[in-house]
């Protein structure tokens, strides 16, 4: 029998990082086994369920690349079916009405237990556990089914073979097991996976920072990196491999290797992993991914001395310097700007020598005379000038960098000058020269 699993989100919020990990393990397991991965929308809570959340969740799942099989199953559309099943139970004397609500008779003593794929046998002593020995409400007075009832009906009727869910559901399972038996359903394999934790080791929530997939998407993370990182939370391939692509993940994923301990979410490692994926991209692909961010920042890749080829060269320069997509415009903004302003602190610290005004002017002239403005030509001419002026690389480059970029840090200086272009580089050098002259009257 082929494997059938499901991911069952409630459209009451954005896709949580922990839910995404649960979805991932279900998806990886299904794909690894050549089985099916279904999506069921648990929207029985009419008050809290929102269409926008549903769309958001589906969007996030698609972005992560978790393709699902078949049609979406909406619990809100199955009320009649749940009602019919409840009536069967009533007819058999296994459930009864209590006002408008329906309760399912549960054993009041003895033990209820189940086999968990990860934890082994988990058993509950009904004498010791009050809430389990109370007849379970399966229909609420408002006419809607309860969570535990709908879940059992659906999992059974959808033919789910493996219920893979967070271990916060462990206490729900003993409520569901008697239902399977009463309904004559075959029980699925249960597998309760550990939760994703915040720094303080409590379940990851808002107060720990960004918790939704959408936030990580907006923050410039790559879906492959997020998937890779999430897969490493509570699972590992067994060797020391950390960078594992999607296909390889499917190939290597083994539910039985999932750990039982909760894992603390570590954003630094996610960032590192994201950087690895950013570097694997071709400059062209990265340039495409970055374009929306460039535009959002109000920059254009068109204009004098710019264009697509220029833009790709620029992107290549930052490919090893950005962790997330959003960092690009922060770091590379000065390449797009027509005018730059030099921070006072940089002026104070780097423009100490009054002779720099002269240096900038000479450098501007030298660059002005260049026909070829490629990085090698710029470097050759620049080094010639340094020699001429008797300046070392450091003495020359640092001040010039500030003059040309307005920053104390940048990619390699000659590449930077080359990409800023002759016109703007010369202009900025002259401006810096003028600024220095007004600052340091001889």
> 3-class secondary structure for 198-249?
CCCCCECCHHHCCCEHHHHHHCCCCHHHHHHHHHCCCCCCCCCCCCCCHHHH
**Shortest distance (Å) from residue 119 CB to RNA:** 4
Measured distance between the N- and C-terminal CA atoms of the chain, rounded to whole angstroms: 89
Distance CA 35, CA 301 (A): 46
**Shortest distance (Å) from residue 2 CB to RNA:** 25
* Nearer residue to RNA within complex by CB, 75 or 329: 75
Query: Phi/psi of residue 38, each to 5°?
Result: -105, 160
Would you state the structure tokens that stand for residue 297, as one six-digit string? 């920042």
For residue 288, is it left (φ>0), alpha (ψ between -120 and 50) or beta? alpha
**Shortest distance (Å) from residue 302 CB to RNA:** 26
* Nearer residue to RNA within complex by CB, 83 or 140: 140
**Shortest distance (Å) from residue 149 CB to RNA:** 8
Helix residue ranges, H only, 343-389 = 344-350, 356-368, 375-389
Catalytic residue among 206, 251, 339, 387: 206
* Nearer residue to RNA within complex by CB, 55 or 115: 115
Neighbouring C-beta atoms of residue 101, cutoff 10 Å: 15
Residues 6+ apart with CB under 8 A from 272: 323
Would you state the structure tokens that stand for residue 218, as one six-digit string? 């907006």
206 flagged as catalytic: yes
* Nearer residue to RNA within complex by CB, 168 or 288: 168
**Shortest distance (Å) from residue 256 CB to RNA:** 8
Q: How many CA atoms lie within 13 A of 435 on its CB side?
A: 23
* Nearer residue to RNA within complex by CB, 134 or 215: 134
Catalytic residue IDs: 206
């Amino acid at each position: 029998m082929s494997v059938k699993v499901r991911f069952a989100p409630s459209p009451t919020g954005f896709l949580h990082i922990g839910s995404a990990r649960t979805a991932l393990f279900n998806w990886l397991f299904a794909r690894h086994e050549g089985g099916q991965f279904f999506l069921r929308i648990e929207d029985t809570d009419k008050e809290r369920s929102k269409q926008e959340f549903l769309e958001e969740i589906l969007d996030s799942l698609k972005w992560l690349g978790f393709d699902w099989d078949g049609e979406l199953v909406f619990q809100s559309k199955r009320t009649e079916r749940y009602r019919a099943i409840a009536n069967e139970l009533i007819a058999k004397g296994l459930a009864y009405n209590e006002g408008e609500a329906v309760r399912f008779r549960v054993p009041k003593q003895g033990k209820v237990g189940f086999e968990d794929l990860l934890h082994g046998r988990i058993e509950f002593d009904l004498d010791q556990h009050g809430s389990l020995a109370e007849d379970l409400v399966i229909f609420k007075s408002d006419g809607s089914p309860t969570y535990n009832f709908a879940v059992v009906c659906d999992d059974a009727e959808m033919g789910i073979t493996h219920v893979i869910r967070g271990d916060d559901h462990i206490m729900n399972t003993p409520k569901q097991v008697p239902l399977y038996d009463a309904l004559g359903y075959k029980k699925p394999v249960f597998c309760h996976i550990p939760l994703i934790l915040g720094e303080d080791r409590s379940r990851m929530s808002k107060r720990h920072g960004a918790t939704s997939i959408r936030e990580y998407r907006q923050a410039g993370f790559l879906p492959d990196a997020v998937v890779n990182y999430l897969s490493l939370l509570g699972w590992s391939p067994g060797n020391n491999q950390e960078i594992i692509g999607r296909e390889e993940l499917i190939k290597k994923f083994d539910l039985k290797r999932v750990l039982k301990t909760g894992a603390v979410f570590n954003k630094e490692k996610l960032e590192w992993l994201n950087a690895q994926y950013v570097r694997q991209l071709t400059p062209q692909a990265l340039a495409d991914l970055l374009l929306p961010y460039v535009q959002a920042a109000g920059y254009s890749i068109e204009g004098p001395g710019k264009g697509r080829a220029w833009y790709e060269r620029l992107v290549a320069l930052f490919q090893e310097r950005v962790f997330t997509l959003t960092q690009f415009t922060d770091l590379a903004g000065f390449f797009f700007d027509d005018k730059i302003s030099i921070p006072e602190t940089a002026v104070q610290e780097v423009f100490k020598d009054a002779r720099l005004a002269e240096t900038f002017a000479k450098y501007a002239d030298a660059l002005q005379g260049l026909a070829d403005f490629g990085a090698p030509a710029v470097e050759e001419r620049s080094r010639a000038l340094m020699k001429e002026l008797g300046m070392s690389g450091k003495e020359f480059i640092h001040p010039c960098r500030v003059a040309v970029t307005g920053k104390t840090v940048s990619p390699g200086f000659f590449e930077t000058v080359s990409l800023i272009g002759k016109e703007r580089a010369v202009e900025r050098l002259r401006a810096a020269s003028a600024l220095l002259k007004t600052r340091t009257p001889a």
